[in-house]
Amino acid sequence: MPKRTSPKDLQHWEDATDLEHLVVDKRSHKRATPAKGRRRNRRYEKRLINHYLDNADDLERELEPPGDLPDSVNGWVDG
């Protein structure tokens, strides 16, 4: 059984275009109707997007290489 989609699975905004493929419903075979599964997937898609938007600054900061910091952060100031 595949694991349920985690908010951590959406690391980049570019991944948002593939949400239909990223979101996995591990209980799809237990749903009463396929419509309920699609509805559940839409909720998870919204949850992923909202989590990304709420934490976008933190995620981008974690992904930046240390050499790309602004000069003011490195202690270099043009004067």
Tell me what the mean pLDDT of segment 51-70 comes to.
68
Residue for token pair 């998870």: 44
Segment of 14-18, 31-35, 58-62 carrying the highest mean pLDDT:
31-35
User: Do the beta carbons of residue 15 and residue 40 sit within 8 Å?
Assistant: no
Residue positions counted in the chain: 79
Give just the sign of the alpha carbon dihedral 37, 43, 47, 53: positive
Question: 19-48, pLDDT tens digit by residue?
Answer: 777 777 778 788 889 899 889 888 888 888
Give just the sign of the alpha carbon dihedral 34, 36, 42, 45: negative
Q: What's the CA gap between 48 and 71, in Å, rounded?
A: 33
Residue for token pair 């559940």: 40
